[in-house]
Chain A
Amino acid sequence: EPEVTQTPSHQVTQMGQEVILRCVPISNHLYFYWYRQILGQKVEFLVSFYNNEISEKSEIFDDQFSVERPDGSNFTLKIRSTKLEDSAMYFCASTRDSFTDTQYFGPGTRLTVL
């Protein structure tokens, strides 16, 4: 069964450094998402991406964040200058259809900012 994959599983970085989190969505999916989950809290939407552009973003997704689909398979989330409060689990998700289809999530990347 196809699944969403994410790398790395755990990333440790120093405050102020740039990080890139990588995702490979399910191959025939067209809509891509990033969510994050701060330890002990609920899962929050960051951004959605369709047709090579951002469809929607949350208040959390400020100028420090960017997303890209550099080729036909990868979908990346970049944080330009990490802050302590960016420490969280970051989940990538994808879906084929925007309206009724299920979003399938990757296993997540745990980002630790020191």
Chain B
Amino acid sequence: AQSVAQPEDQVNVAEGNPLTVKCTYSVSGNPYLFWYVQYPNRGLQFLLKYITGDNLVKGSYGFEAEFNKSQTSFHLKKPSALVSDSALYFCAVRDMGGATNKLIFGTGTLLAVQP
């Protein structure tokens, strides 16, 4: 079965410092991986995805993610955190065993950026 794991419930980082939010995956075959962000009382906003190609994927708001096949990871990164980046971040993988493009989400990581 396809799955993603987000090992950290919360990540704390000071504004201006680099941030990393971790995600590992378990799939059969090639993974289609996604990052979404959820601000308080808002829906899920798409940040970036990896389908194929370059292992470093660039997305919205200055975020990027690195696909690492040997470590089965897809960590989200940003060189310099902003207080406004504080939100709940979800990693997701497309279910390759299903009939449709449904997403399987991780448990989410709360990013707290301190001024």
Chain B residues touching A, majority SS: loop
User: Would you give the 0/1 interface string for A90-104, flagging 1 where the beta carbon is closer than 8 Å to chain B?
Assistant: 010101011111111
Contact A43 B101 (CB under 8 A): no
Chain A residues touching B, majority SS: strand
Report B-chain residues with C-beta under 8 Å of the C-beta of A102: 34, 46, 49
Which residues on B are within 8 Å of A, measured CB to CB?
32, 34, 36, 42-46, 49, 51, 90, 92, 95, 98-108
Contact B99 A56 (CB under 8 A): yes
Contact A98 B100, CB 8 Å, known A42-B90, A42-B105: yes
Bound form: Cα–Cα A103–B105 in Å? 13
User: Does any Cβ of B come within 8 Å of A33's Cβ?
Assistant: yes
Question: Which 6 residue pairs of A and B lie closest in terms of their CB atoms, listed nearest first?
Answer: A107-B43, A105-B44, A48-B100, A43-B105, A56-B99, A55-B100
Contact A101 B101 (CB under 8 A): yes
Whole-angstrom distance between the Cβ of B95 and the nearest chain A Cβ: 8
Report A-chain residues with C-beta under 8 Å of the C-beta of B99: 48, 55-56
Contact B107 A42 (CB under 8 A): yes
Report A-chain residues with C-beta under 8 Å of the C-beta of B108: 42
Whole-angstrom distance between the Cβ of B76 and the nearest chain A Cβ: 16
Q: What is the interface residue range for chain A against chain B?
A: 20 to 34
Bound form: Cα–Cα A108–B88 in Å? 15
Bound form: Cα–Cα A41–B108 in Å? 8
Which residue in chain B gives the minimum CB-CB distance to A110?
Answer: B41
- New A-B contacts (4) at CB < 8 Å, excluding given A31-B100, A41-B107: A45-B103, A95-B101, A104-B46, A105-B44
For chain A, residues 64 to 114, give those with C-beta under 8 angstroms from any C-beta of chain B: 91, 93, 95, 97-108
Bound form: Cα–Cα A50–B42 in Å? 26
Which residue in chain B gives the minimum CB-CB distance to A10?
Answer: B41
